[in-house]
Structure formats: C-alpha cells, structure tokens
C-alpha cells in the first residue's frame, strides 16, 4: 500500500491530539507524520506509534513534501495557511469553519456525501463540518433518502470539549470550587458552566441566532444538497466533558413510521440505534464518549403534524464530530482520488 506524508496542524489541541490517535488507531498509511503548532509548543513532543515526535513551528514552508494536511488550529490560521499548503501540493482537510461555505470547497461527511470529495481539485481544500452538524446529518441522510425532509428543528446540548482544553479545565475547576466552597473563576464562557446550561455558543448575529446555530442551518443544506430543507436551531452548552446530544424534530414529505425509521437507521453506516424506552435504553453522552458511532434513540412520532418524527442523537464531538470525520475523508481521498 502506498504511504503518505501527513501533517497535523494544531497538533497540541484536543482535536489535534485525537487526529494523531485516530491516524494510529485506523492504521492510516502514514509514511512520515509532521506535527505543527505555534512557536510556544516548539521543544515539546507527542507520541505516535510509540515514538516521540517533535512539534515544529507552523510556517509558510512547512508543507513542502506533505501530501495531506489535517488542520485544526483555528479559522484565522486556516484562512492563511490552507491556501499556502494547497499551493505546495498538500491536500488540506480543514476542521475549522473558515472554508465550509465556500462554493468551491466540498463540505463532507463520508457516510452522507462521499462523492463531493472529488471537488477537492478546485482549491485543494476539503472542509470538515461543524461537530453538531456531522452527527445530525449522519442520522438524517438515510431518512431523507426514504421520505424527503421538509423541515428540521434541532436543539443541541453540547459538551465543553467543543470549546477546547481551556473549557474542559474551567468546568473541572468550577466543580471542585463549588464542592470546596471556594470562589469560582469564569474566563472561557460568559457565565458559570458548572451545574448550568448556557443557550449561547459562539457570537450572536444580527438575527439573534448564534454563529453555531447558523452553521447548523447552512451546513445541513449544503451537505444534504437540498436548499429547500428548512432548518432552525438552538445550541446550548452543558456541563458535560465529551459528547454532544441533540433533540431533533423532523418533518417529512411523506409518512415514515418510527419502526420504519429504526429499520433504516440500523442499516445505516456509522449509526447505532439504542432505543428501548421500556428498559430505559437511549443514547447517553457518557456512553458515546470515546466511540466512533453516532447513536440514535427516542424515535417517536411527532403527533402535532402529519409526517413528523422526534429523535435523540448523541456522538463524541471530538471523534466523529472532528478527528474521525477528517481521517475518514482522508481514507476516501487516498482510496478513490489519489
């Protein structure tokens, strides 16, 4: 099997760490792994296949000889360095929001629209969708194929790891402070996150939606390749370390029973149905953490409309919502297009 020179940009972050682990776990054919980060991380190492690999400073000449670059270092970094990497012959798979809505950049979830990867040739960049969008469309695509979706109403309950390591540390410190009756520090979020829910992810826009909510609206339409689908979202940060949960209400053009939906989803790639209310079995964030699958349960009729279903969708936001999806894109890329 041919091997490839791979770079991970933002290697020291939570998603960067998971990308490295995923490359190893899935036995991606890496010839040489280059780990790139800011100058602050130079001198540190990260482990890959039992070897300590030095972290190098991200520079404009970092991509010479690199075949595939997995980016997870912030939108401004991707805006600057993704075109530089692409110009040097490196195919960029970008985990930030910088390129997602660019009409010349494919926005890909392999289980949903693998065929779109072919369009990487336009700019040399493939975009990884938002974590909350990924898990939703993995579950909804096979149902859309069966009964055609008209409208989606989604409320998310998103783990702090979606914000990064500083947010994970803040939640942990706040919980400890509360139990030890000490003052709380709130730096990452606008309000206390411990034992609280914040209906506020990313900045507010002129329409009073947040950027996170509009990402779900716009990305869903692009990935499902249907601008007629109506989508509305409310995104909430909750005191969970790993795993995003979503309450999803879907209106279809024709009837789809809960049993039919379960049968379809049980055969769908990347999906695991956990749905037995009588035994209190339904997807939980604590069970999804560390897993690759998207878990779906609480599938039931929406009795307020003719062709509606409600469901509960959970996935590990760092794995399927970020690192795993990026590596899966790379796997399709080398199998079908390189």
As annotated, the active-site residues are: 131, 244
Helix residue ranges, H only, 120-257: 131-147, 165-179, 211-224
β-partners of residue 301 are 309
Closest CA to 285 of 109, 140, 129, 156: 156
In order of 23, 219, 231, 267, the CA distances from 215 in angstroms are 27, 6, 11, 28
- Contact partners, residue 224, CB within 8 Å, separation at least 6: 112, 113, 137, 140, 141, 144, 149
Question: In the chain, what is the straight-line distance between the N-terminal and C-terminal CA atoms, in Å?
Answer: 12
- For the chain, the 3-state helix, strand and coil shares in percent, each to the nearest 5, are 35, 25, 35
Residue 267: strand, helix, or coil: coil
- What pairs with residue 34 in β-bridges? 7
Tokens for 18, please give them.
């998971």
Matching residue, tokens 């776990």: 25
The β-bridge partners of 304 are none
């Amino acid at each position: 099997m041919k091997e490839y020179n791979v770079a991970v940009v933002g290697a020291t972050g939570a998603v960067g760490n998971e990308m490295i682990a995923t490359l190893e776990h899935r036995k991606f054919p890496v010839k040489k792994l280059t780990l790139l980060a800011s100058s602050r991380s130079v001198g540190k190492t990260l482990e890959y296949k039992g070897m300590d690999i030095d972290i190098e400073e991200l520079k404009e000449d970092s991509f010479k000889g690199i075949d595939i670059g997995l980016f997870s270092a912030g939108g401004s970094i991707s805006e600057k360095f993704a075109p530089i990497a692409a110009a040097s012959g490196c195919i960029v798979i970008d985990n930030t929001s910088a390129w997602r809505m660019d009409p010349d950049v494919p926005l890909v979830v392999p289980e949903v629209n693998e065929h779109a990867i072919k369009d990487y040739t336009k700019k040399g960049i493939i975009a990884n969708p938002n974590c909350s969008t990924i898990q939703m469309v993995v579950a909804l695509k096979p149902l859309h194929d069966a009964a055609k979706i008209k409208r989606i109403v989604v409320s998310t309950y998103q783990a702090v790891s979606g914000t990064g390591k500083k947010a994970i540390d803040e939640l942990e410190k706040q919980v400890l402070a509360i139990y030890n009756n000490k003052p709380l520090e709130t730096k990452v979020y606008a309000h206390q996150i411990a034992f609280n829910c914040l209906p506020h992810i990313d900045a507010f826009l002129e329409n009073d939606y947040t950027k996170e909510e509009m990402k779900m609206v716009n990305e869903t339409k692009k990935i499902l390749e249907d601008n007629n689908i109506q989508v509305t979202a409310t995104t909430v940060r909750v005191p969970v370390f790993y795993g995003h949960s979503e309450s999803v209400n879907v209106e279809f053009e024709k009837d789809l029973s809960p049993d039919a939906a379960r049968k379809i989803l049980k055969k769908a790639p990347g999906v695991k149905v956990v749905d037995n209310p009588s035994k209190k079995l339904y997807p939980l964030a604590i069970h999804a953490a560390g897993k690759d699958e998207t878990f779906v349960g609480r599938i039931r009729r929406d009795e307020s409309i003719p062709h509606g279903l409600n469901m509960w969708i959970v996935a590990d936001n760092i794995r399927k919502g970020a690192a795993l999806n990026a590596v899966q894109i790379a796997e399709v890329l080398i199998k079908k297009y390189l």
